[in-house]
Structure 1
């Protein structure tokens, strides 16, 4: 803890970030597994966590982790840094705009680039910070540079305390060597991992009604895992595996919400299912608050081929057929870049079937992604 105190003491003071009050609404919450990462290093802990994780991925593909080695104060410091960035003048933020049109995403994504319904655009601002290795050195606004050492410390602790443990557990779920996924997700490799600050701007009741209360259509994420640090505004929903509806994801105290993403689905023929989720307007007692987020996106080395892993578990459980033959030969980096570019350039329902419950968008090499109302 002394190292963190030293980092914060040498940086300019930040306004204290105060988390919003939790909703008083009774919502239909998803029943998610919680993994206690402190158990990882205890006798028999990996086996217990592996069993829990196996159950989680068979159910809904979302789960919580707790006791991950970062305090809520450290997490709230990151929320404060993100909020300070978004408070900058637009002219300053635009100097650090990401090259989204060409599949780049590090840097700033402005408000309103994606059409979520004809005539209505997204309400999100994003600032992405890549891994802290020489290959990804780039310029940042002063508010980020002033706290750069603290951000680096936070990002690397996420990798060491959370990412490495989860990747080990996924290998054990598949009865592979413990370091199987670590070899393709090492921190010093060129990959698309990044820390994200995010702001959802509140909308009026009239605006929400016009878009059916859906801020971000149902979708899957691009890489291996997504880590969402707890913030109390209820807005995230997960689609049930049978397609029967949506459940709210509860902001569990001092937790990280984790969801599986596309790469793990490709690598396991759909056994590790890329979780379908969306963002909707919060309940009425949280409607007047902007929703800030701190996330970490886990992605493998960019040249990893999207081909199934050699797991006997997949054979035993019947996941021995390719989830998408057209994906063979594609790399993780190709897939991420194409999905980023698609998100900016095209309305998700690009196949001309507007208004349906499920739409498809061709991403790369004939492989499609689905979007859900």
Structure 2
């Protein structure tokens, strides 16, 4: 059984003013010095955006290459400091560590019933193979933060957290979506219009901690995998880079490689809905969470994430107006003209996460299994 990170690396109780009272500083593990396989992900420096359209098209070319190979890239230069990101991680760690158990229970997401990520997901909720359950805890919230209960530990930081959410969506995510549009030679605000901040959708921010607390026997039963291979169901996912080597991407040959830490960077991956929009040209990234290298064991992996889902009524089907997709003869991935709106698919998918029989099954390395959700085939990878 692992020891709590606070005892291994230390933690600081910040209480210098009323706003920071009770804030717990999360101290991440040092970067690994071991020789482990890392994915060679493209780094897109968005700070060059203001240099004009030619530079923006060059960045879009980088994005195109990343989306047609790994489905991943690393975003830098987006104007939010490493310190601002670390503060959100501290807030998240405080919420996960200090919210009373009874309050967590009251604010349980019950995602299998609601299909929406709001509130806490407790540890040992996901059904893993051979009777093992997960060691992941989450607190999820939707960006408006107005129609869901907020835990007492987050209330002192609610205003700044909401401001952070808005900045990420409008100042960072919108530029990413404009790059997607440029890469497909579409009007620059095509994807921005699918993800308007002011309209309703099931996008969510997440504080998440992976606790290194599997017994040796359970580690063997799950093949040292902390979260099985999958594709995110939205348009894109933003993972704020962290030092622990644990997130892995899968290449076309079935090899799994760690993502390298880029301080202050965001790892961006393509989801299923973006794959639908492009008729499979842009690849929904296959990824999993694997145990870290030995010199990073017995520490908590605590991080911040944003999962971007299109506005509720958007139907992510082939963007036929794209000259790029027309030239490549890309076709709709839906059969018989069937489409599905973002809200319906998202809620059907979320309700199944960690609870359907496919999560309990034990399948071989690299094997692909398909689950039908709301009439749509969704792949999983061992």
Structure-1-length-normalised TM-score: 0.92
Out of 150, 165, 174, the residue aligned to residue 164 of structure 1 is 174
Give me the whole-angstrom Cα distance separating, in 2, the residues matched to 1:166 and 1:226.
11
Q: Any conservation in 1 of the 2:69–2:283 contact (CA below 8 Å)?
A: no
Structure 1 residue 54 displacement after superposition: 1.2
Q: Which position in structure 1 is the counterpart of 2:66?
A: 56
After superposition, the Cα gap between the structure-2 partners of 1:204 and 1:71, relative to the gap in structure 1 and judged at 3 Å, is farther
Give me the whole-angstrom Cα distance separating, in 2, the residues matched to 1:83 and 1:266.
35
Out of 307, 327, 343, the residue aligned to residue 297 of structure 1 is 307
Give me the whole-angstrom Cα distance separating, in 2, the residues matched to 1:29 and 1:138.
39
Q: Which position in structure 1 is the counterpart of 2:20?
A: 12
Out of 241, 257, 274, the residue aligned to residue 264 of structure 1 is 274
Query: Which structure 1 residue ranges, 4+ long, deviate > 6 Å from structure 2?
Result: none
- The 5 A counterparts of 1:1-373 are 11-13=19-21, 14-43=23-52, 44-87=54-97, 88-102=99-113, 103-132=115-144, 136-202=146-212, 203-240=214-251, 242-310=252-320, 311-319=322-330, 321-325=331-335, 328-348=338-358, 354-356=362-364, 357-365=367-375, 367-373=376-382
Q: CA RMSD in A?
A: 1.8
Q: Any conservation in 2 of the 1:349–1:371 contact (CA below 8 Å)?
A: no
SS state of the match for residue 218, structure 1? strand
Q: Which position in structure 2 is the counterpart of 1:4?
A: none
Equivalent pairs counted in the alignment come to 359
SS state of the match for residue 128, structure 2? strand
Structure 1 residue 92 displacement after superposition: 1.7
Give me the whole-angstrom Cα distance separating, in 2, the residues matched to 1:196 and 1:246.
24
- 1:68-89 CA distance string (max 9 Å, x none): 1111111111111111111133
Give me the whole-angstrom Cα distance separating, in 2, the residues matched to 1:212 and 1:47.
43
Give ranges in structure 1 of 5+ residues lacking alignment.
Answer: 1-7
Give ranges in structure 2 of 5+ residues lacking alignment.
Answer: 1-15
Give me the whole-angstrom Cα distance separating, in 1, the residues matched to 2:134 and 2:161.
27
Give me the whole-angstrom Cα distance separating, in 2, the residues matched to 1:9 and 1:291.
28
Structure 1 residue 354 displacement after superposition: 4.4
Give me the whole-angstrom Cα distance separating, in 2, the residues matched to 1:346 and 1:145.
34
SS state of the match for residue 345, structure 1? coil
Q: Any conservation in 2 of the 1:197–1:295 contact (CA below 8 Å)?
A: yes
Structure-2-length-normalised TM-score: 0.90
- 1:251-295 CA distance string (max 9 Å, x none): 112211000001111111111211010001111111110111100
Q: Any conservation in 1 of the 2:44–2:73 contact (CA below 8 Å)?
A: yes
Q: Which position in structure 1 is the counterpart of 2:9?
A: none
Give me the whole-angstrom Cα distance separating, in 2, the residues matched to 1:65 and 1:156.
18
Q: Which stretch shifts more, 81-90 or 250-259?
A: 81-90
